[in-house]
Structure 1
Amino acid sequence: MTLITAVISIFILIAISAVVSSSELALASARKIKLQILAKEGEVRALDVLAMQDNPGSFITVVQVLLNAVAILAGVIGESAVSPYLEAILQHEALSFLQSVIGYETLASVISFILVTSVFVLFADLMPKRFAMSYAEPIAIRLVRPMMMLIFVFKPIIWVFDGAADLLFKLLGVSTVRRDDLTSEDIYAVMDAGAEAGVLKHQEHHLIANIFEMQERTVTSVMTTREYIVYFDSNENHDVIVETMIREPHHKFLVCLEDDLEQTIGYVESRAFLAMVLQKEKVRLTDPTILRTALFIPDTLSLFDVLETFKSTGSDFAIIVNEYSLVVGVITLKDVMSIVMGELVTVDEQPIVQRTENSWLVDGMTPIEDVIRTLGIINLPNSENYETISGFMMYSLRKIPKKTDFIEHAGFKFEILDTENLKVNQLLVTKTTEE
């Protein structure tokens, strides 16, 4: 074999090896979600890639057979065709001392091996695989059909090796089925990576994180608590009702029997009631034209469950009861959506106000999830036992909190500034250590 023929043969083998090795890494690295999107857009070959990822045994076998066969053949060609020419060069008078040290034939074989191996590593393995990592899905789609053809051609060989490998894995009790189960942690990691790379804007990252948080947060974390519920007795004086509706900012008011929240019979909307008043009509709260049926929900529901309940019932307002059938609060669709929008929504009174660079004023009824996010704390101890920062203080102090009580945790000092009866109104949170 002439030198030119040998060089051409080696480059053909390099091209074959490059295609096979790039297809190997591309099909392994191609993201399942991206391939599913391409398949929905009409790229049929994406379905072939997905099918090959689910059952990669035959593909891996044909890849290994081809790569090893090409490498062996290249070594044979390099040894038989390149070594004689290198040996002739080494026999030059200026290099005659090499004969006594190692021998021309041995040195020519070593140099031939190094040259062929180096070329193969660079052009047949390293560069194709790095390229395949950067463009996994496009390369996998383009090469899946040729690889399917090779699998068909080498079917007998594949059957032998694949069958032997499957038998050994079965004896060892090892599963070779690829699993791509996507967890919430995976999604969070993708979101964080997207935010760091600038693909996701800060607002988009914030919204998506809040949506996932809805599954974890219970309805009691955002409800209007019992003490702030404005309600009327069914026999309340007409003038008192009008005055209260004008004074209070709420749009919906509960109607109860005997001034007892546990005997709630429904609710009225201020707009409908006041509209009838303006029409000079004498209105009773029990009038079926304005009294609406109340939706009762348990306090164990998550915000996502509440949203689904609102959707299925067509309601946007619900009364929350605990396991003892006591009314503990009310919630509206606006309350739920405020969690999704979070800091993107401007409200008149913020529950957390940053006073200085390292201190915050926090309302006692602020949900503990909002405190954790604002302060950047990884977590608070035993957070399943409380839902608000007031509950955290009560749990940590092991008593009813009073003014000036404080605790220190995770580099922050939580100090109570104001209480009212048994309720914590406001806390001062101060950062005590630098990260």
Structure 2
Amino acid sequence: MTSLPQVFALFGLVLLSAFFSAAEISLAAASKTRLQSLADEGDRRAGLVMELQNHPGQFFSALQVVINAVALLGGIVGDAAFSPFFSWALGSVVPEANLKHVSFALSFLLATSLFVIFADLLPKRLAIGRPEAIAMRVVRPMRIIIRVLRPIVFVLERLSDACIRSLGMPTKRQETITSEDILASVGAGTAAGVIAPQEEAVIQNVFELESRLVPSAMTPRENIVYFTLDESEDSIRAKIATVPYNRFLVCDKDLDHVVGFVDSKHLLRCVLEEKPINFRETGLVQPCQFIPDSLTLSEVLDVFQRTHGDFAVILNEYALVVGIITINDVMSTVMADLVTTSDELQIIPREDGTWLVDGSTPIDDLEHALGIDELPEDSAYETVAGFMMYMLRKIPKRTDKVTTNGFAFEVLDVDNNRIDQVLVTRIKTVQDAPAED
């Protein structure tokens, strides 16, 4: 029959091996960012875990020594624990000549199954679910084991470091977080229902500030309402009443000769005090901030922060005005649908599965709405109108069409060579087409 002390010894070895398996996977999977946060909160164990992660050679060397030692002992004890039982149970069935070999094979299978399930798979699956918590629980016992096995660990660590260096790989763990990692985590959170889709869009827009140029968020030239230095007071009042802007450019004869800007509240004060509006008077017109159209939205925010401003005129390489931008424009780009009203939507989904798109829509917004990674040569244009002109290689006319990336883009309306609206239709593939009877 089975020796009970040997059975208890085997289960003790299984538990010991389970501890080392959990320690191995938890310290390898623990996030350095979360550990740093816990360390900042005063948990010293988090700092000890990060110290082991920074010097993984000592940890893994000691771990492999004890894991292999426990595995060897488990094989020896398992054979001694179960072989007598199988010899007794199978003595009347298996011939005497083969009984010893059969008992050994069954003992080996049973001991191996115990180690695989309870000393490897189960503890590792539990540890991968909460790696930081388990790593902090096992870190101090592991440090004691490392100290006890220091001479062996020292030799093994030097040998493993030499092998790793010969392969051109780093000997220390490099914890780098990229924007792709963050967006992937946010996408996983959205899929799990933890993060709302609108919140995910805001986070994506924040990271895109580094790549989106100012034309994607500006008020374009054709929509700018401005005054001239010699404009009549009646015309000024009519424009103020028609367009509820906070600021108006003041120009010398035309838009490409900007003198400055005037705040609508100053104009309102003149009206209430029944004073004449004269842009040539000192103090009414304020100087403008000028920026090139090659800046990204992130760089525009830096400019506003340095100059303590929130309004700028955008110039192209020929010093011509192409638009204006405010800090609200940048924030609206980030917040997207959270602050956009139905009247301001540039991309309108329709019930038939098509999209009605304004020609001035930034191409990045269209790519997001359609789920397209990127349109052809999308660095060569900023808006949907620019995309159509680039693809058609001409000034588009009504009904002109472009097909790419599984979508058809058709010009619906053109006003003085300016594309007002584009109809976007998904092209049905063979799989999408309804089956015929």
User: TM-score of the superposition, structure 1-length normalised?
Assistant: 0.94
- CA deviation digits over 1:59-111, x for unaligned, max 9? 001111001001111222233454244334433xx32x4225xx222222222
Number of corresponding residues: 429
- CA deviation digits over 1:1-59, x for unaligned, max 9? 98121112112211211111100000111122221222222222112212211220010
Match of 1:287 in 2: 281
Match of 1:46 in 2: 46
1:168 to 145, 148, 163: 163
Unpaired segments ≥5 residues, structure 2: 433-437
Q: Which amino acid aligns with 2:363?
A: I
Match of 2:218 in 1: 223
In the alignment, is the contact (CA less than 8 A) between 2:363 and 2:383 conserved in 1?
yes
In the alignment, is the contact (CA less than 8 A) between 1:242 and 1:274 conserved in 2?
no
Match of 2:317 in 1: 323
Structure 1 residue 184 displacement after superposition: 1.6
Match of 1:197 in 2: 192
Q: Which amino acid aligns with 1:297?
A: I
Structure 1 residue 381 displacement after superposition: 0.4
What secondary structure, in the 3-state scheme, does the structure 2 residue paired with 1:173 have? coil
Match of 2:435 in 1: none
Match of 1:135 in 2: 130
Match of 1:99 in 2: 96
Relative to 1, partners in 2 of residues 1:87 and 1:353: Cα closer, same or farther, differing over 3 Å? closer
CA distance in 2, matches of 1:35, 1:13: 30
- CA deviation digits over 1:311-351, x for unaligned, max 9? 22221111001122111110111211111111122333322
CA distance in 1, matches of 2:216, 2:380: 12
What secondary structure, in the 3-state scheme, does the structure 2 residue paired with 1:325 have? coil
CA distance in 2, matches of 1:81, 1:334: 76
CA distance in 2, matches of 1:85, 1:280: 110
Q: Which amino acid aligns with 2:365?
A: D
Relative to 1, partners in 2 of residues 1:85 and 1:414: Cα closer, same or farther, differing over 3 Å? closer
Match of 1:309 in 2: 303
1:183 to 156, 178, 181: 178
CA distance in 1, matches of 2:212, 2:426: 26
Relative to 1, partners in 2 of residues 1:266 and 1:20: Cα closer, same or farther, differing over 3 Å? same
What secondary structure, in the 3-state scheme, does the structure 1 residue paired with 2:156 have? helix
Q: Are residues 1:83 and 2:78 paired?
A: no
CA distance in 2, matches of 1:240, 1:174: 72
What secondary structure, in the 3-state scheme, does the structure 2 residue paired with 1:261 have? coil
In the alignment, is the contact (CA less than 8 A) between 2:247 and 2:264 conserved in 1?
yes
| Identical aligned residues as a percent | 45
In the alignment, is the contact (CA less than 8 A) between 2:2 and 2:85 conserved in 1?
no
- CA deviation digits over 1:160-209, x for unaligned, max 9? 11112222333343333222211121111111111001111122112111
CA distance in 2, matches of 1:407, 1:81: 77
- CA deviation digits over 1:338-388, x for unaligned, max 9? 111111223333222223332222111111111112222232100000011
CA distance in 1, matches of 2:138, 2:73: 23
- 5 Å-filtered alignment, 1:265-414, equals 265-347=259-341, 348-414=343-409
CA distance in 2, matches of 1:379, 1:300: 20
CA distance in 2, matches of 1:24, 1:158: 16
CA distance in 1, matches of 2:99, 2:415: 98
Q: Are residues 1:55 and 2:50 paired?
A: no
CA distance in 2, matches of 1:28, 1:84: 40
* RMSD (CA atoms): 1.9
Match of 2:8 in 1: 8
What secondary structure, in the 3-state scheme, does the structure 1 residue paired with 2:313 have? strand
Moved more, 41-50 or 192-201: 41-50
CA distance in 2, matches of 1:332, 1:403: 33
In the alignment, is the contact (CA less than 8 A) between 1:234 and 1:286 conserved in 2?
yes
